[in-house]
Amino acid sequence: MNPPESGRPNRSDADLLADHVRGDPAAFAELIRRHHGRLHRLARRCSRSPEDAADAMQDALLAVHRAAGSFRSDAAVSSWLYRIVVNACRDRLRTHAQDTRPLEDTGAASVAVADRTAQVDTAVVVRRALLCLPVAQREAVVAVHLLDRSVADTARALGVAEGTVKSRCARGRDRLATLLTDAVGAARGGAGNSRD
């Protein structure tokens, strides 16, 4: 068996995964470094708290490391990674389904610069609204509208038809519009009451 070529520049994701399976200790680290930011954002948006997102990412990375040899090259490595992170988040949500703790804020509001307060408040409201969506709708909306993945790529990653992704996005957007309208109305009502 030939040794892995860890010195090759510009290896594709598939090459990095194959080299990892063949024993290249640097290949896995490079693959994860290449996708970590996007995968972490996905985990954060699909989780109840930063801690749950971190735990889901750890679970996902362990699963990727263990399952690398079983990767079928009929899909993009990035789609495969995305699916593993989504499944890890789903597992965490199922584990904590009976958890009645309130959702945690991202902590950003407490350290935000004064001129960014409105942006932080908006981000918290949107995140809470996203977490109110059914998991399947949230996954589709996050992938297509927040991570800018194509409908086709999202469908492959989630293992569903493209039409299913489109309908989940449409229903998710409709539900988000209602949730956000209600949140804005409640905020305005609360602000009006504070002047009395």
Residue 110 is assigned to a structural domain of this protein = no
pTM of this prediction exceeds 0.85: no
Residue 50 domain-assigned (yes or no): yes
In a domain, 111, yes or no: no
Whether residues 150 and 78 fall in one domain: no
- What is each CA distance from 25 to 16, 18, 30, 45, 57, in whole angstroms? 10, 12, 9, 30, 20
Q: At 24, which amino acid appears? A: D
Do both 90 and 133 map to the same domain? no
50-62 pLDDT tens trace: 888 899 899 999 9
The number of folded domains in the chain is: 2
Residues 95 and 24 in one domain: yes
Q: How confident is the model at residue 142 (pLDDT cuts 50, 70, 90)?
A: confident
Using alpha carbons, select from 176, 124, 66, 32 the residue that is nearest to residue 40.
32
Q: Which of 68, 100, 132 is the last residue of a domain?
A: 100
pLDDT at 27 over 60: yes
Q: What is the pLDDT of residues 150-196, one digit of tens each?
A: 999 899 888 999 999 999 999 999 998 888 888 777 766 655 444 44
Residue that terminates a domain, selected from 45, 74, 100: 100
Distance CA 35, CA 158 (A): 18
